[in-house]
Structure 1
Amino acid sequence: MSTPACSVSDASDAQPAPPGVPVLYSFRRCPYAMRARLALAVSGQRVELREVVLRHKPAALLQASPKATVPVLVLPDGDVLEQSLEIMLWALRRHDPAHWLEPTHGTLQEALALIAECDGPFKQALDRCKYPERHPDSHPAAAREQAHTWLQELEQRLRCHAWLLGEHATLADMALLPFMRQFAAIDAAQWLALPCSGVQAWLQRWLEGPLQARSMDRHAAWAPGATPVFFPPA
């Protein structure tokens, strides 16, 4: 089976940021912020990127979004998008050159359902595997079993197609992969021993792709008066 790589060629369509460019508060390693940056990168929707140190959250972030989690996108008209999926859809509905909103084998509603499963049951299991000390009432083995069961459901999809909903990456792939990256990193040897070669190849293909690299540049923590950093870069 051919495995088409995620194209980022259209991200170069991004133009220099005009006055009133949206502001994105982000944290490089946060999977929610990562998925938002992926959608912004592929769509070419330029923002001013403000990297946040989570233990020293800037007052501007707290003013824009009292919940103070990332990502947060502040639009020029003052509207604030506080959810990663909301930011992804905002960017892709403006420009979707890679057709992330158009699965070849499935529907957008199916993609949203997969994301809901990821953000709900899988994320709960992931947290209990990664931070067992924070969940003393939960058994790590049970959490791993819950996560592995869901991985097998994804494996069935990836046996039929290169991506979850067909032959090109979609919203579902790019919303799930940052969390799969986090899960795989808990125990690399255990990850590689799992009977899910399709899921492992899917993750590795994304990790080695240009879009992921483009979305993971390191930036200094933002402070008022700092030189603006625009994303995606021109």
Structure 2
Amino acid sequence: MAHVDHLPIFWSFRRCPYAMRARLAIAASGQKVELREILLRDKPTDFLATSPKGTVPVLKLKNGQVIDESRDIMFWALEQNDPENWLAVWRRNPAFTLAFLDRLDGAFKHDLDRYKYASRYDRDAGSSHRDSGGVFLAELNQDLQQTGALSGAQLGLLDFASLPFVRQFRIAGPDWFDDQSWPHLHAWLGGFLDSASFRLVMQKYPQWSPVGQSIAFPPQL
């Protein structure tokens, strides 16, 4: 059994894009956490006691502080250690960084949800949300053409904050997505899906239980 009593507790759900981007930042920073994988349809009492709003990811630090927003978890991890310089774009232009993240997590996520889960919202409006989200993706394609990465000359915070959501957008309609004239976006997403980082954060773990084995994440640094 892993010795994880000294580690922050990280509640996660493997397929959630918010949790995915938090795991990416934790892994990139070299921080270790105790991973508690849950099912959103079966939320443990301990999880809800930690964060009553009941959404993942949630990070509980050893001092008792609870961080329950994915971008805040990314910043926390990278502020501890940032060996790949993900925060360069933040240091260079914090206003632009926050505006980008607000648009990603706001309007684009709104369109993604109503496209991917149209049956839960307005089925007839699914294609309009697809097209609206596509406007944002076309802009990302242009940015990637100019700089090679959303964060500048190399992949960083904005790339890894976005990639899990762009992945979901493609899953909602892969044929439509692949038919779009977005060669730079396609290559950027494809590189991520083929990367060791993606394989690491998408490893499967057993559902957490109070009597189960403790799991340290990332498994190997």
Normalised to the residue count of structure 2, the TM-score between the two structures is 0.94
Checking the alignment, whether the CA contact within 8 Å between 2:27 and 2:218 is kept in structure 1 is yes
- What code does the residue aligned with 1:196 have? W
Deviation, 1:108, is 3.6
1:146-225 pair list within 5 angstroms: 146-225=132-211
Aligned Cα root-mean-square deviation (Å): 1.8
Deviation, 1:106, is 5.5
- What code does the residue aligned with 2:14 have? R
1:68 pairs with 2:54: yes
Structure 2: gaps (5+ residues): none
- Report % sequence identity: 41
Deviation, 1:137, is 7.9
Checking the alignment, whether the CA contact within 8 Å between 1:106 and 1:165 is kept in structure 2 is no
Deviation, 1:157, is 0.5
Tell me the secondary structure at the aligned position of residue 182 of structure 1: helix
- 1:112 maps to what in 2? 98
Deviation, 1:135, is 1.4
- 2:80 maps to what in 1? 94
2:123 and 2:176 map into 1 onto residues whose CA distance is 23
- 2:67 maps to what in 1? 81
Deviation, 1:176, is 0.5
Tell me the secondary structure at the aligned position of residue 28 of structure 1: coil
- 1:128 maps to what in 2? 114
Tell me the secondary structure at the aligned position of residue 88 of structure 2: coil
1:214 and 1:205 map into 2 onto residues whose CA distance is 14
Tell me the secondary structure at the aligned position of residue 10 of structure 2: strand
2:32 and 2:123 map into 1 onto residues whose CA distance is 44
Structure 1: gaps (5+ residues): 1-15
- What code does the residue aligned with 1:231 have? F
1:209 and 1:145 map into 2 onto residues whose CA distance is 28
Output one character per residue of 1:31-82: Cα deviation in whole Å (capped at 9) or x when no partner. Answer: 0000000000000110000000111111110100000110000111111000
Deviation, 1:233, is 1.3
Q: Are the structure 2 counterparts of residues 105 and 76 from structure 1 closer, same or farther at C-alpha, using a change threshold of 3 Å?
A: closer
- What code does the residue aligned with 2:127 have? A
Number of paired residues? 219
Checking the alignment, whether the CA contact within 8 Å between 1:128 and 1:138 is kept in structure 2 is no
Checking the alignment, whether the CA contact within 8 Å between 2:60 and 2:66 is kept in structure 1 is yes
Tell me the secondary structure at the aligned position of residue 59 of structure 2: strand
- 2:42 maps to what in 1? 56
1:104 and 1:30 map into 2 onto residues whose CA distance is 24
More helix by share: 2
Question: Which stretch shifts more, 99-108 or 86-95?
Answer: 99-108
Checking the alignment, whether the CA contact within 8 Å between 1:101 and 1:108 is kept in structure 2 is no
Checking the alignment, whether the CA contact within 8 Å between 1:102 and 1:108 is kept in structure 2 is no
Deviation, 1:115, is 1.4
